[in-house]
């Protein structure tokens, strides 16, 4: 059947796909364009196992191996997708589109799925856009979708491998939350009440806890650093990094001031290191082990 296109929608917690019928000429053009985007996505890249503490460079792609497609997408191919419900012009359907998936094969004849993220601004609605025709602008009389110029993720069916540029983008059209943990307010409260911590102001810390903080609290919880290492061990390590930890009754003071709290979380999560040559303290964006 060749290249086929489907829309990925989400209403509440309900995911659903729709087949997008294409005129033959458009289908051929999209096949070529998305193939070029796939080659650009894969060109001289380095795959890195997904780590929420690591930020990829432009030549790197996150990797999730043994990735099982969600039930609503599992087993869907360029041959079978035509039996899915066809996309319609219903306003609620258009508003629920989270991404597009191109179904096809790579140069090695392996089945792949190419994903593009679709933001609400990429949905063309009648009387909400201007189209130029013969030097005159007019409203479109039907809705449409603005395609992106690059793919956001690629799934390899045979290897069950997902590559993607950005977690948040990929998570908008694939449910990846299971691979990304953010501590809840209850979990942050429990962690701050750990016997080795002395929080200055729990409520202020909760108020300041954005995504970055929630992720680091989850990392600290999962690492069990506070359970495994003694106060003396943590303080001694801090001194080696020339970091001053404030203590109160042999507990580490968790500051209410956001910048200091950030520094403490970076230290406890081993996201700081001292340069071996300049002895300068740096932040690291990776905790992946190296050879």
Say yes or no: 97 and 32 in one domain: yes
Could you tell me the pTM of the whole model? 0.68
Residues 193, 166 share a domain: no
Predicted pLDDT of residue 205: 96
Question: Is the domain of 54 the same as that of 197?
Answer: no
Q: Which residue has the higher pLDDT, 192 or 52?
A: 192
pLDDT tens, position by position, 44-63: 999 999 877 678 899 999 99
Residue 133 has pLDDT above 50, yes or no: yes
Mean pLDDT value across residues 160-182: 86
At 194 the pLDDT is 96
Number of domains the chain contains: 2
Residue 216 lies in a domain: yes
CA distance 78 to 71: 17
pLDDT at 276: 58
Domain identity same for 163 and 272: no
Any domain includes 288: no
Instruction: Give the percent of the chain with pLDDT over 70.
Output: 91
User: Contact, 182 vs 218, CB < 8 A?
Assistant: yes
- Whole-number pLDDT of residue 290: 47
| Domain shared by 106 and 13, yes or no | yes
Residues 86, 128 share a domain:
yes
Could you tell me if residue 291 is inside a domain? no
> Are 93 and 12 members of one domain?
yes
User: Of the residues 179, 208, 241, which one is the last residue of a structural domain?
Assistant: 179
Whether residues 162 and 54 share a domain: the answer is yes
Q: If you average pLDDT over residues 271-290, what whole number do you get? A: 55
The residue with greater pLDDT, 291 or 241, is 241
Residues 262 and 149 reside in one and the same domain: no
Q: What is the pLDDT of residue 157?
A: 94
Which residues are CB-neighbours of 83 under 8 A, at least 6 positions away?
A: 19
- Residues with Cβ < 8 Å from 181, sequence gap 6 or more? 52, 215, 218, 219, 222
pLDDT at 226: 94
Q: Give the whole-angstrom CA distance, residue 126 versus residue 138.
A: 10
Q: Of 134, 150, 179, at which residue does a domain stop?
A: 179
Q: Are residues 258 and 163 both part of a single domain?
A: no
- Long-range Cβ contact pairs of 271-274 (< 8 A, separation 24 or more): 271/53, 271/216, 272/241, 272/243, 273/241, 274/240, 274/241, 274/242
Q: Which residue, 179, 23, 174, is CA-closest to 98? A: 174
Domain that holds residue 156: 4-179
Residue 198: pLDDT above 60? yes
Does one domain contain both 18 and 142?
yes
Q: Give the integer Cα–Cα distance in Å for 230 and 11.
A: 48
Which two tokens mark 127?
Answer: 């009387």
Mean pLDDT, the chain, integer: 87
- Domain's final residue, options 179, 202, 220: 179
Is residue 170 located within the same domain as residue 189?
no
Cα–Cα dist 270/272, whole Å: 6
Let me know if residue 278 belongs to a domain.
Answer: yes
pLDDT of residue 291: 45
How far apart are alpha carbons 208 and 68 in whole angstroms? Answer: 35
pLDDT tens figures, 205-233: 999 999 889 988 988 887 889 999 999 99
């Amino acid at each position: 059947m060749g290249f086929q296109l489907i829309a990925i929608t989400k209403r509440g917690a309900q995911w659903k796909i729709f087949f997008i019928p294409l005129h033959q000429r458009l289908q051929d053009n999209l096949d070529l364009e998305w193939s070029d985007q796939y080659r650009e996505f894969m060109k001289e890249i380095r795959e890195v196992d997904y780590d929420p503490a690591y930020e990829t460079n432009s030549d790197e792609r996150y990797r999730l191996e043994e990735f099982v497609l969600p039930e609503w997408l599992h087993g869907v191919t360029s041959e079978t997708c035509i039996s899915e419900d066809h996309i319609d012009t219903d306003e609620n359907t258009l508003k629920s589109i989270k991404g597009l998936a191109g179904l096809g094969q790579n140069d090695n004849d392996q089945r792949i799925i190419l994903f593009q993220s679709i933001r609400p601004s990429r949905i063309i609605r009648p009387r909400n856009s201007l189209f130029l025709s013969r030097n005159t602008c007019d409203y479109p009389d039907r809705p449409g979708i603005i395609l992106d110029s690059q793919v956001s993720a690629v799934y390899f069916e045979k290897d069950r491998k997902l590559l993607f540029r950005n977690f948040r983008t990929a998570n908008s059209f694939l449910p990846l939350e299971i691979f990304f943990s953010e501590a809840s307010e209850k979990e942050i409260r429990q962690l701050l009440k750990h016997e080795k911590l002395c929080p200055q102001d729990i409520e202020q810390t909760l108020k300041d806890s954005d995504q970055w903080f929630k992720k680091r609290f989850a990392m600290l919880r999962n690492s069990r650093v506070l359970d495994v290492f003694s106060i003396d061990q943590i303080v001694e390590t801090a001194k080696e990094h020339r970091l001053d930890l404030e203590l109160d009754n042999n507990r580490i003071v968790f500051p209410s001031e956001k910048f200091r709290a950030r520094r403490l979380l970076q230290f406890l999560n081993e996201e700081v290191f001292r340069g071996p040559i300049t002895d300068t303290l740096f932040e690291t964006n990776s905790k992946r082990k190296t050879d």
